Amino acid sequence: MKEDKPQHSANIRVAVATGNVDCLDEMGQDGCLTELSGYLPQPIRDHSAQGACKMSASSIVIYHNPRCGKSRQTLQLLRDAGHEPHVVEYLKTPLTTVELDAVLKKLKLAPRDVMRKGEAVYQQLGLGERDVPRAEALQLLVENPILIERPIVVRGSKAVLGRPPENVVSLL
């Protein structure tokens, strides 16, 4: 018999991206969804004494493209330092606009700052020829995740772009 996943993954994904959002129950109330706890990546779960489901400040998330050499180097650097990050292959599991906005705020960067200008889609969309409002830029990045510079590593309220890979040392 196939077990269906609960329909609350968006709340959990926002918690993973922002690092400071409690899990919500079906009514939108604070609390931990016990039926979802098995679906949360182990490095992300941190149940406090009060039972609230919060992101651990020591949890590391890497938005990773395994085809990218810098991304692979950054992941290896984290592992060599004794950390096993939660790996999000963002081309397979694209971020939502809320998640991407939260990550960009942690990076203290604008959407344009993380756009890969050498990608064909960047040229096709004419992004080098016009100013793009933040909301539109976020949407374009969500719709075309190949445009997002990688890797991005998040730990708690901070994030860094792993270019060069040694940038992640500041999070350790």
Which parts of 19-133 fold into alpha helices (H)?
A: 69-80, 97-107, 120-124
Angle at 13 between CA 122 and CA 45, to 5 degrees: 135
**Active-site residue flag, 68:** yes
Rounded to 10 deg, the angle between the 97-107 and 134-143 helix axes is 110
Of 23, 32, 53, 68, which residue is the catalytic one? Answer: 68
Q: Which residues are catalytic?
A: 68
